[in-house]
Each structure stands twice: as C-alpha cells, then as structure tokens.
Structure 1
Amino acid sequence: MEMNLLAVLVAAVSALVVGFIWYNPKVFGNAWMQAAGITEEQIKGGNMVKIFIMALIFALLLAMVMQTLTIHQFGALGMIGGDPEIALPSFEAFMADYGNSFRTFKHGALHGVMSGIFIALPIIGTNALFERKGAKYILINSGYWIVTMCIMGAIVCGWQ
C-alpha cells in the first residue's frame, strides 16, 4: 500500500485553512488571544512566513501519520514487514478481498476525531496545565485539532 502523497498534501493544507477560520477574530481568535495571553501586536510582530512554513511542515508530518491511523490496511502491511514483494499469496488474497474496506471519508473522519480526542487533547491539556493556562485555552486549541484531524482523516482515508 503506497502513501497517497496528493491526499497528504491536501490534508496538510486543510490544517492551515481550518486555522485561518478557527483563529479568525470573528470565530475564536479574540478568545484564544485572551486565553493565551497574547496581544495583537505580538502576533503581528512574528515572522509569519516562517510560522506558516513550519506549520505546513508539521501538518505534513501529521497528515502522513493520519494515513496509518485511519487506513487499517497499513496495519496488515506492517504485519508482513512492510514489503508487499515478500508477502505470501495469502496476503495478496487478503488485500484483494479487504484492500478497500473502510476506505471512506466518514471512516477517516471518525478516526480523526478519535485521534484528536485521545492524542491531541491530552497533549495540549498537559502542556496547558504546566503553562498555567485555563480551560478556555485547552478547549479552543484542542477543538481546533479535533476538527482539523477529523478533516485530515477524512481526506487521507477517503481519497483513493
């Protein structure tokens, strides 16, 4: 099973699109700035080109991992060592029967939401506790990642 690089790229870009919407002042931007203790001047003072390039790189890494979290056939491939060339005929038969099972946008979205809740939320929550941030900060940031991972999961799983 090969990685769908176009789906990974689109999923990564979707993280930036969701971020533009989510952190817009008319949505959660002002509340996020208040919860994070950041001023508008501080945001404008950052190197936005560097920030968006790094955000895209991080999103690409996440989108690549989302394929393994949402497409169960990657697990079957891992059971044979990752090289389909050395697989027994039974693996080829298995993939012929089940190679596209659960490869839907809906299934990917479900696993994306689950990943957001069970991976992103605990990481953000733990960091926020030690940074002395409040519940609003945790909810805004983890909400962004839950929605983003939902969309990413849908894209990488459903796009065949």
Structure 2
Amino acid sequence: MEFNYLAVFVAAIVPLIIGFIWYNPKTFGTVWMKHAEMTEQKMQSANMLKIFGVTLILSFVLAFILPSITVHQMGAFSLVQGDLGIQPSYETFMAEYKDEFRTFKHGAFHGVIAGLFIVLPILGINALFERKSLKYTLINVGYWTVTLAIMGAIVCGWR
C-alpha cells in the first residue's frame, strides 16, 4: 500500500485556504464573528503566526489520518501488520483491487460523511454547552464538511 505524502501535504494546506474564503467578511465571516462573540479587537490582538503555525501542524495530523477514512485499501493493509506479515494472498488482493474506489469523488464523499457524522456531533455538543447559536454551529460544521470533502478528495484520488 503506497502512501502519497505529496497528497497529504497538499491536503494539509486546504483548511487554511478554505478558512480564508469561508470566514471572509464577504462570505460567512461577519455572521461568524457575531455568533462567536469575536471582535475586531480580539482578532487584532491575536498571535497570528502561532495560530496559523499550529493550524498547519494540526492540519497535517488531520490529512495524515484521512486516508484511513477515505481509502478502503488502508483497512486491508492494516490486516497484514501482524506476525505473519505480508502474504502472497494480500499481494494478489492488492494487485486486483488497489485502484477500487480511489477517486476524487469517492474521497469527497467520505469527507462529507466525516463532516456530517463526526464533526457535526462534536461541534454540535460543544455549541450546546457553550450556548452558541445554531448559525454558529452550521457555519463551523459547513466549513469542516467542505474542507474534509476537499481533503478527502485529494488524499483518496491523487495517486
């Protein structure tokens, strides 16, 4: 099972690019600021180098784990990590099925599924306890769903 480090690197940049667009005042930025109780003063007082640096590191972590969600062959590969190692049957299986479901469309599908069934419950629960609005939740879940769809498409389809 080959691992495409270039795809992971490119996918790791996606949250920054989508975030720049998504949270821009011309898209959802102004509404998000209101519902996040964010002010211009808070934003200007932030250490942006630290924020973007840590964001990039965490985005690499996310991009690195995404193949396990989007690439079905990763499940087969995980089975051969035991004492027996890689057997001829695994080699035969991978020769026949290595390209199955390895498309941008399939990766985007699994990214959307992750957004709806992982991100939505997590951010939804946080928003309930933080007393945040539905708009705040939907803006953030929408961002992560779109971001994961694009990241999933890249790590699954780029070979």
| TM-score of the pair, normalised by structure 2 | 0.97
Q: Residues 95-118 of structure 1: CA distance to partner in whole angstroms, max 9, x if unpaired? A: 000011110000000000000111
* Cα distance, 1:17 vs structure 2: 0.2
* Cα distance, 1:44 vs structure 2: 1.2
Are positions 1:68 and 2:68 aligned together? yes
2:29 aligned residue: 29
Q: Residues 14-63 of structure 1: CA distance to partner in whole angstroms, max 9, x if unpaired? A: 11000000000000000000010110111111000000001111111111
2:131 alignment partner AA: R
Call closer, same or farther: CA 1:82–1:67 in 2, change over 3 Å: farther
2:97 alignment partner AA: Y
Can you give the 5+ residue segments of structure 2 that lack an aligned partner in the other structure? none
Rounded to whole Å, the distance in 1 between the matches of 2:121 and 2:61 is 19
Counterpart of 2:28 in 1: which secondary structure?
A: helix
Call closer, same or farther: CA 1:9–1:137 in 2, change over 3 Å: same
Q: Residues 74-106 of structure 1: CA distance to partner in whole angstroms, max 9, x if unpaired? A: 0001111279x9211111000000011110000
Show the 5 A alignment for 1:111-150. 111-150=110-149
Rounded to whole Å, the distance in 2 between the matches of 1:68 and 1:151 is 15
Counterpart of 1:24 in 2: which secondary structure?
A: coil
- The runs of 4+ residues in structure 1 deviating greater than 6 Å are none
Size of the aligned set, in residue pairs, is: 159
Rounded to whole Å, the distance in 2 between the matches of 1:152 and 1:29 is 22
Show the 5 A alignment for 1:1-160. 1-81=1-81, 86-160=85-159
Call closer, same or farther: CA 1:99–1:48 in 2, change over 3 Å: same
Rounded to whole Å, the distance in 2 between the matches of 1:23 and 1:103 is 31
Counterpart of 1:111 in 2: which secondary structure?
A: helix
| TM-score of the pair, normalised by structure 1 | 0.96
Rounded to whole Å, the distance in 1 between the matches of 2:85 and 2:131 is 52
Structure 1 stretch displaced more, 117-126 or 148-157: 117-126
1:58 alignment partner AA: L
